[in-house]
Structure 1
Amino acid sequence: MNLMRWSARLTGAAWRAALPAAPAEPVTVPGPREPTTAPALLDLCDLHELYDLRDVLRRLPAPIAVTYGPLHQLGYANRAYRELFGERTNGLPASEALPELAALGVLPLLDQVIRSGRPRSVKARCILGLGGSRYYNVSCVPLGAELSTVGPPPAHSAAHSADHSTERAPGRPPGRTNGRAHGAGGTDPAAVLIFATEITDQVQAATRLREAERRQREAAVTLQRSLLPQKLEQPADLRVAATYQPGGAEAAVGGDWYDVIGLGGGRTALVIGDVMGRGLRAAAVMGQLRTAVRAYARLDLPPHEVMHLLDGIAMEIDANQIATCTYAIWDPAPGTLLYASAGHLPLLLRCPDGTVLRGEEQNGPPLGTGGGTHLSHTLRLLPGTTGVLYTDGLVERRDEDIDQGLDQLARTLSGAVGEPEVVCARLLRAMGVTSDHDDDVAVLAFHLPADLPVPPDPGPSLDSANTEV
């Protein structure tokens, strides 16, 4: 079979023919067509002449309506719109013909669209009485005079519009002259197309998700609070108070914790910690670390050794989750505070004269990182000194450097006087921590009564002797 001969008969295939042996004149091969020689493209403004725009809108499953003029008289409502809201009468103002738009808050948008010539929309508006709550996004789009011939002219009577419903032949809206709309420069929108998209499923899914998150957050807060000490020990020579403020509804609960542990010899251990991460997992890890701290404190170990042991157990709990912690031991006999820090923020001390000092900034790596050197530092405290341990939620803000928060906290502490409960409340208030805060906050404040006897040879405020492991 001669495939070349058959392929020449296929639709769209080029004909192949042999040239004559001796052509009478040269064969001229036409060049490529110029765009200007192609048939004229269809003007977009004439699309309504090729397609029945009313019929296109009628077939769409989404509710659609078209209004005309400054009174927004109804000119068209497609089948989906009438099936949803019932029959509507053409020619009446939207406030009468489309009362559901008032419930959706759409009527004011129609004026804005006519004035500005720009689309306007509302989101997640609820309509009751349609077999339950149903939610819609509604868009209002301006239509020029050339494309606004969807419905009948509103000048027709309501009875005439009702007889012919919204499915009759399109007519011209008022205000159209010589193919242009009245208005500034003849370009004002002649009509507004109202398009509604149902989003009930999305809204319900989002509501279920928020409810699940709320329940999880409540469970995390309950677990968090249950793991924190319900009542702090109050040594005879030290006043202690603590507070915990969970983050707002949009913030998942973290793993902040504090503790006060009585040791032998009249000493007291003060602990503050923060597990990185959010939710139930962080709260559970926090509970395990707090239990471990209490167990190691009973061994009467120095702070740096406690940090070393906690680092190992943190890796066993979850190698992918780290925590910061400060562990301090107050010994009233020499009047010293021996402490070590694992990546935690520095403690602040307010001296009796109002001067605020920061603890030694050199500390070990966070718990759960494995290895590293932790140091024990010694501070000598005078009667009347107030100290504060805290988590990063108190001083950290997304729009500023953390040093700014630390400076603000130091200035606030310099003027904070009174019992530790008062100091905690004042710090939270001054740092802007409310129930809507975006992070959870733990604060532990302690105060040495001013009438305590001065320990012998108090020495400098900060001893340079450190112990490391």
Structure 2
Amino acid sequence: MNLMRWSARLTGAPRRTAPSAPSSTATESLPLPGPRDPETAAAALDHREIHELYELRGVLDRLPAPVAVTYGPLHQLGYANNAYRELFGERTAGLPAADGLPELAALGVLPLMDQALRGGRPRSVKARCILGPAGSRYYNVSCVPLAPADPPLDTLAPRPGPRPPAGLLIYAAEVTDQVQAATRVREAERRQREAAVTLQRSLLPQKLEQPADLRVAATYQPGGADAAVGGDWYDVIRLGAGRTALVIGDVMGRGLRAAAVMGQLRTAVRAYARLDLPPHEVMGLLDGLAMEIDANQIATCTYAVWDPAPGTLEYASAGHLPLLLRCPDGSVLQGEEQNGPPLGTGSGSHVSHTLKLLPGTTGVLYTDGLVERRDEDIDHGLDLLARTLAGAAGGPEVVCARLLRAMGVTAEHDDDVAVLAFQLPLEPDGSDV
């Protein structure tokens, strides 16, 4: 911007004075430039089109990415740049892609070329492997339609010569580094998951205690390969006077940290159970311990005590899903909805509930992976679980297997699942009829 020219227009700005005439000596030693003529400057430029200013093949041959141009419905090869020929070898122009470009068929690109030519829209595939002298290399391959050349808009006459047919520009962008990095990340995640699963299983009971007056069974199913292992656990603890403690819990979060916290909580439950405290007091102790372990990580838990003398089940819940009971007549009851907050919140306001159980009753404790689905309300999962339990006749082992199968829990499930089933005998002496 010429600041002096603009300043002459501003109020109060000093006017420029004409420069003094140069001396004859300065005129002879310094030649003055002639006036600029825009018409002359524009005429000096070459008005040829851009593809004439730069030879397209020369540009493409300098590209490090493989590029090929095909034409016609058979995708006959019109041109392949140096990078393409170095990667795949020399190719004969004019041959259809099915015959002259076998590498495109091996990469699964031929159907993509048909789609791009018919639809007139670019199509691409990602991370296709090409085996070469240096090993496996990966490319994202794109097919871009090239429409027939149109006549100039400023002329009525068509271009001289035949118009080229529609074709495709095929180019491959190498992504070997990205693919190898992603593979390393997946391998590290796989090793970490295997370590978490091993830790998780080692912290769970290797063999459940089997009281004389109660049949129990449990199962643990880790999530699939894409799901990180959580902190689900269960336990069966023999207490004095013939009583049995039944425990299930779930540490929020995933991975080794959740499994480690789960192990500490499970050990603490076994220690607190020996104090012969009511369930809600055990929950209060666990709540304080969970805060000491990790104030940012919470857990849910249900702690129940079966006492065969009065035939009662006393339990307390810390934010866990409700206990389900299948009565001898096949009806299913749900435990008290009122429960305390999860462990690690520091509130300690847990309540114990007592249920009178009939002989032949089957109870189920479970974690949220059994009933929770990302695209469904959890009440739908709870209803399905209750209907399944109503028809699940048989021992605790059979009940666990049927629940997993009916709820769609497989090796590829997106969350880990723990189920603890217990069953009272039909006869007071412990024998079933």
Measured against the shorter chain, the TM-score band is: 0.7 to 0.9
Structure-1 residue corresponding to 2:309: 333
The aligned counterpart of 1:151 is none
Q: Does the CA contact (< 8 Å) of 1:146 and 1:179 recur in 2?
A: no
CA–CA distance in structure 2, aligned partners of residues 120 and 67 of structure 1: 15
Specify the code of the residue in structure 2 equivalent to 1:234: Q
> 1:139 deviation in Å?
0.4
Supply the distance in 2 between the matched residues of 1:237 and 1:132 (Cα, whole angstroms): 65
User: Is 1:57 the counterpart of 2:73 in the alignment?
Assistant: no
Q: Which residue of 1 aligns with 2:32?
A: none
| Residue type of the alignment partner of 1:434 | T
Cα distance in structure 1, aligned partners of 2:120 and 2:49 = 21
Alignment of 1:14-25 (within 5 A): none
2:343 maps to which of 348, 367, 372 = 367
CA contact (8 A) 1:145 1:179 kept: no
1:180 deviates by 4.8
Select which of 417, 426, 449 maps to 2:402.
426
1:45-444 superposed matches below 5 A: 46-146=49-149, 180=163, 190-444=166-420
1:152 matched residue in structure 2: none
Task: Report SS of the residue matched to 1:389.
Answer: strand
Q: 1:368 to 1:4 in 2, by over 3 A?
A: closer
Maintained 8 Å contact 1:342/1:364: yes
The alpha-carbon deviation at position 131 of structure 1 amounts to: 1.2
**Displacement of 1:85:** 2.0
2: distance between equivalents of 1:241 and 1:178? 84
**2:149 aligned counterpart, secondary structure:** helix
Offset, 1:369: 0.6
State the identity %. 84
- 2:135 alignment partner, SS class: coil
After superposition, what is the alpha-carbon deviation per residue over 1:258-309, rounded to whole angstroms, capped at 9, x for unaligned? 0000000000000000000000000000000000000000111110010000
Q: Which runs of 5+ in 2 are unaligned?
A: 8-15, 19-41, 151-158
Counterpart of 1:136 in structure 2: which amino acid? Y
Separation of aligned partners in 1, 2:133 and 2:76? 24
Inter-partner Cα distance in structure 2 for 1:384 and 1:349: 10
Q: After TM superposition, give the deviation of residue 178 of structure 1 in Å.
A: 6.6
What is the CA–CA distance in structure 2 between the aligned matches of 1:235 and 1:4, rounded to whole Å? 102
Q: Is contact 2:295-2:344 (8 Å) kept?
A: yes
> Is the Cα contact below 8 Å between 1:348 and 1:357 reproduced in 2?
yes
State the partner residue of 1:22. none
Relative to structure 2, which stretch is displaced further, 308-317 or 98-107? 98-107
- Can you give the 5+ residue segments of structure 1 that lack an aligned partner in the other structure? 8-15, 19-38, 148-175, 183-189, 455-469
Structure-2 change in CA distance of 1:4 and 1:282 (3 Å):
closer
Contact 1:383 1:453 in 2 (8 A): no
Residue matched to 1:461? none
Shift of 1:82: 1.7
SS at match of 2:132: coil
Q: Matched residue of 1:128: which SS? A: strand
Report the alpha carbon displacement of residue 422 of structure 1 after superposing the two structures with TM: 0.2
SS in structure 2 opposite 1:121?
Answer: strand
| Deviation at residue 4 of structure 1 after TM alignment | 5.9
Give the aligned length: 386
The alpha carbon displacement at 1:93 in A equals 2.2
Give the Cα separation in 2 of the matches to 1:233 and 1:378: 23
Deviation at 1:79? 1.6
The one-letter amino acid paired with 1:274 is D
Amino acid at match of 1:319: A
1:385-409 per-residue CA deviation (whole Å, 9 max, x = no partner) reads 0000000000001111111111111
Corresponding position of 2:28: none
Structure 2 SS opposite 1:309 = helix
- When the two structures are superposed, what TM-score results if normalisation uses the length of structure 1? 0.78
Amino acid at match of 1:388: V
Offset of residue 436 of structure 1:
0.6
Instruction: Determine helix, strand or coil for the equivalent of 1:125.
Output: strand
Distance 1:300 1:177, change over 3 A: farther
How high is the TM-score relative to the length of structure 2? 0.85
Once the two structures are superposed, residues 321-379 of structure 1 have per-residue CA deviations (whole angstroms, 9 ceiling, x without a partner) of 00000000000000000100000001000111111111111011100011241001000
Query: Contact 2:87/2:132 (CA < 8 Å) preserved in 1?
Result: no
What secondary structure does 2:381 align onto?
helix
Residue 145 of structure 1: SS of its match in structure 2? coil
Instruction: Provide the rounded CA distance (Å) in 2 between the counterparts of 1:203 and 1:49.
Output: 39
Q: SS of the counterpart of 1:61? A: coil
Q: CA deviation at 1:50?
A: 3.4
Paired amino acid for 1:324: T
Paired residue for 1:155? none
> Is structure 2 residue 428 aligned with structure 1 residue 452?
yes
Query: Contact 2:283/2:348 (CA < 8 Å) preserved in 1?
Result: no
- SS of 1:133's equivalent in the other structure is strand
Q: Hey, what's the Cα distance between the residues in 1 that align with 2:49 and 2:395?
A: 82
Determine the C-alpha separation between the residues in 2 that align with 1:440 and 1:396. 11
Partner Cα separation in structure 2 for residue 453 and residue 134 of structure 1: 71
Distance 1:69 1:276, change over 3 A: same
Deviations 1:117-165 (A, max 9, x none): 2212111111113310111110011112229xxxxxxxxxxxxxxxxxx
Residue type matched to 2:357 in 1?
A: L
